[in-house]
Structure 1
Amino acid sequence: MRTFRVIEGVYWIGAVDWNIRLFHGPAYTTHRGTTYNSYLIKDEKVAVVDTVYRPFTESFIENIKEYIDPTNIDYIVVNHTEPDHSGAFPELIKLAPNATVLCTAKGKEGLMEQYHGEYNVQVVKTGDKVSLGSKTLTFVEAPMLHWPDSMFTYVPEDALLLPNDAFGQHIATTGMFDDLVDEHQLMTEAAKYYANILTPFSKLVLKKLAEVQKMGIEIKTIAPSHGIIWRKDPGKIINAYAKWAEGEGENKVVIVFDTMWSSTEKMARAIIDGIKAGGVEAKLFQAHKTDRNDIIAELLTAKCLLVGSSTINNDYLPSLAAILEDLKGLKPRKKMGAAFGSYGWRGGAVKSITETLNAAGVEVMNEGLEAKYVPTPEKLEECYAWGQKIAERLA
């Protein structure tokens, strides 16, 4: 993709990664690709805000050259040192050896430890300002959103917020603004991004939103480091973050299960029928057939999670391990849950799932529901009634 103007004097000089399908190693699936957004601010002085992932360095440098000789760059702003945003930094600093690097104290530490160079670094804190001429760079520290080094850069003259990973999504597109893409697809990817990356920092998200509001920062445009730029309605994603961070789910149940010989699946289907009969929305996912990141995204807007498994080796099936471990790390807020499953000569899955839900901070509603070998018609009626009770609890 060629470069383009974001607003007067600010240009997108990043890269579009159409083919990436796994991010953070195998931790995050990117079905729609992603972008690495970098911005050039051209005024009396010139600043580059963030860079791109290392494999895109060559095209990134060429993008800069469309506007300026890199040797004339005055400032390189590093909002976050993770390699998808700082990978091209070592090559850029070679071409702009006189540039001052602007970052937090943790950002300086991260650059030194990752790239082992000596750079002209100016550490900035919340409220610090750097004038480029008619435009000003103002900085807001945002530790643990989502690394200790994270910060936002704000241009008050344009009400432009450059928040790096905050408010982003993994979408590769030629329509780089919120009014040029499908709104449902956009918000689906934004929710998935929040659910899988920012959920454990939700309390910090709320504090940062309150801090920005107290500072009286006007925001007309949000230009994150992944995905599209919010220019039509930046308040939409800000309000969504506030809602997601509060953990206020809808009356919806997410059921994830796996099964060896269909017994647990029969239980799951009876349970979801009971929930439906109780007037509550529910969605059913079989773990080994479903992307776990998509399941976690569904949970973001749900109040309840039910996890079911057959027993193997006195424990739950391995296909559920990844999502249950993710839950322990993400610690979603204000969620209720319970376990169910089948077993043969000896159980264990329901007990292990219940322990994991407790460890993830989920409010466990009961001791769980079990069936031995193949559930009888009476047991399936019990599953149906169990689902109805859960629906009553949510109503």
Structure 2
Amino acid sequence: MLKAITERVSWAGKVDWELRRFHGEEYSTHHGSSYNSYLVRGEKTALIETVWSPFASEFVENLARAGVLDSIDFLVANHAEPDHSGAMPELLRARPGLPVYCTANGVKSLKGTYHQDWNFQVVKTGDTLDLGAGLALTFVEAPMLHWPDTMFCYLSGENILFSNDAFGQHLACETLFNDTVDECELFQEAIKYYANILTPFSRLVTKKINDVLALKLPVSMICPSHGVIWRKDPLRIVEAYLKWADDYQEDQAVVVYDTMWNATRHMAEGIAQGMRDARPSMTVKCLNAAKADVNDLITEVFKSKAVAVGSPTFNRGILRSVAAVLEEMRGLGFKKKKGAAFGSYGWSGESVKMIEEGLSGAGFELAAPGLKLSWQPDGSGLEQCLAFGRELAGNLG
């Protein structure tokens, strides 16, 4: 089903209300998502991106039912990841020989994924595709935002930026536009998307946004590949990205832990309380790594100045949920954040040192020597936790 965005641009994608995990099992999508494909009709017609492969037949059938399948002149593949390109094999079986506009790296990725030698037309930054009737697409390469093949395209004549994964969110919405959804929910999903997917490329985000802004192109809408279309104050999400890319921090800290018999939980709660006592205005959140959604947890780390990480010693190491969080943090490459380690033990006590090594390896500055307590903390031990929290809060500047 096509939905009009303007008189000459329509949405042709799929809203996936049932989606709960993405990137395999790596990313949680509590509110579903959408795979946004766009049809641009001038004297010639361009289709910008497709949908994920489970919806390929439905996608092609909808184009045929709408009477536009045979009128498509060009396919633009801004990104080769299967949630964008999954319907390409079925579409190109229906329309063999259709020109596919993508970057050179896009050709590599698409051939590597589908093993088809389609009619690739390689484009680079500044290349244009004239659609007639005053419409033209200008291509802008955006490598590593967030794959090597990524590009944006700008539609002159309508002043629309098709931004691919940038400025998107995993949020199912049948009404399409940012001014038709709950704004708090929208921006929570947008910051989660940035924190978990784009953080490693923040320096490139800043450069690419500034490059595009320097062109002084009028932007009436931003149409990403997932979630809502930004039509009301569309540059607001661009401003948010510039903030998030600049080593973003709120006045917040998060205590992340796992526990076996609640000793480490009691430590975590004491540390969190000590931080609140020292800085009453600061938000302090306490999250169990084994029970919290890992992507929501990482979003809280992204927002924080500091993270305290705790685990009991288990098999001369740490609990697997804590190890997984440390690995997520390492891979995302957070900058200018502080950390500290804590944990309980019975007889060997290696966990705190291992967590400190993990935090250092993830680029966190250790803000206080680690705290380890044997067995269940008593009154004296809990006072040490409070003091540890106060010291950590005091070292945040």
8 A contact 2:32–2:171 mirrored in 1: yes
Counterparts in 2 of 1:1-395, with a 5 A limit?
2-133=1-132, 134-278=134-278, 279=280, 280-395=282-397
Q: 1:337 to 1:355 in 2, by over 3 A?
A: same
Kindly indicate whether the alpha-carbon contact (under 8 Å) linking 1:255 and 1:282 is maintained by their aligned counterparts in 2.
Answer: yes
Question: Are residues 66 and 232 of structure 1, via their aligned partners in 2, closer, same or farther at CA, if it must alter by over 3 Å?
Answer: farther
Please list every run of 5 or more consecutive structure 1 residues that lacks an aligned counterpart in the other structure: none
> Counterpart of 2:395 in 1: which secondary structure?
helix
Q: Partner amino acid for 2:106?
A: G
CA distance in 1, matches of 2:301, 2:220: 30
Q: Given that residues 338 and 396 in structure 2 are in contact (C-alpha distance below 8 angstroms), is that contact kept between their aligned partners in structure 1?
A: no
Distance of 1:388 and 1:8 partners within structure 2: 59
Structure 1 residue 68, shift from structure 2 partner: 3.8
Q: Is the contact between residue 37 and residue 224 of structure 1 (CA under 8 Å) also seen in structure 2? A: yes
The alignment's C-alpha RMSD in Å is: 1.2
- Distance in structure 2 (CA, Å) of the matches to 1:372 and 1:69: 70
Provide the C-alpha distance between the structure 2 equivalents of 1:13 and 1:179, rounded to a whole number of angstroms. Answer: 20
Contact 1:192 1:297 in 2 (8 A): yes
Structure 2: runs of 5+ lacking an equivalent: none
SS in 2 for 1:338: strand
Structure 1 length-normalised TM: 0.97
Q: Give the aligned residue type for 2:120.
A: V
Instruction: Output the amino acid matched with 2:85.
Output: S
Quick one: distance in 1 between partners of 2:384 and 2:68?
72
Task: Work out the CA distance in 2 between the residues paired with 1:40 and 1:374.
Answer: 63
Amino acid at match of 2:341: A
C-alpha displacement at 1:66, in angstroms? Answer: 4.8
Q: Cα deviations across residues 277-328 of structure 1 (Å, max 9, x unaligned)?
A: 1222100101111101000111222111111111101111112122111111
Task: State the SS of the aligned residue for 1:289.
Answer: coil
Q: How many pairs were matched up? A: 394
Provide the rounded CA distance (Å) in 2 between the counterparts of 1:63 and 1:224. 21
Q: Distance between the aligned counterparts of 1:352 and 1:8, measured in 2? A: 59
Structure 2-normalised TM-score?
0.97
Q: Deviations over 1:215-274 (max 9, x none)?
A: 223222111111110101212211111111111301210111011111111111111111
The structure 1 segments of at least 4 consecutive aligned residues displaced by more than 3 Å after TM superposition are: 66-69
Once residues 330 and 387 of structure 1 are traced to their aligned partners in structure 2, the CA distance between those partners, rounded to angstroms, is: 25
Residue 113 of structure 1: CA displacement? 1.6
- 1:82 is matched by which residue type in structure 2? E
**TM-superposed deviation, 1:333:** 1.8
Identity of aligned residues (%): 49
Residues 311, 347 of structure 1: 8 Å contact kept = yes
DSSP-derived class of the 1:250 partner:
coil
Q: Secondary structure at the match of 1:264?
A: helix
